[in-house]
Every structure is written in structure tokens, then in C-alpha cells.
Amino acid sequence: MRDTISTALKTALKSGDKRRVCTLRLIQAAVNDRDIANRGSGKDPV
């Protein structure tokens, strides 16, 4: 999932699609936040 988001983000950056870039960065941040929260509780990362 992370690779798909990263690839889509790179494509959006190259094409200059600002809305898509913002959306994908928001999704990446949410995934990272969930990983950090799960690390504290001992659960597996997303």
C-alpha cells in the first residue's frame, strides 16, 4: 500500500496536480500516524 501511494504521489508531483498531491500527502501522514499509534500499543504496523 505504501509503495502504491508513493508512486502515485511521484506521478502527481510530476504532472503538477496540486489537489492530488495534497490528498496523497494527507493519506501518507494518516498511515504514518497510525503506525506510530500502533507502535505504542504493541500492534503490527498498517
Residue 5: the pLDDT is 95
**Residue type at 39 in one-letter notation:** R
All three cell numbers of 31: 498511515
Flag whether pLDDT at 18 surpasses 80.
Answer: yes
Cβ atoms within 10 Å of 24's Cβ, excluding its own:
21
Where are the domains positioned within the chain?
Answer: 2-39
Predicted TM-score (pTM) of the model is 0.78
Contact 39, 45 (CB under 8 A): yes
Cβ atoms within 10 Å of 19's Cβ, excluding its own:
8
Flag whether pLDDT at 16 surpasses 70.
Answer: yes
The more confident residue out of 3 and 42 is 3
pLDDT per position as a tens digit, 25-43: 999 999 999 988 888 776 6
Flag whether pLDDT at 46 surpasses 70.
Answer: no
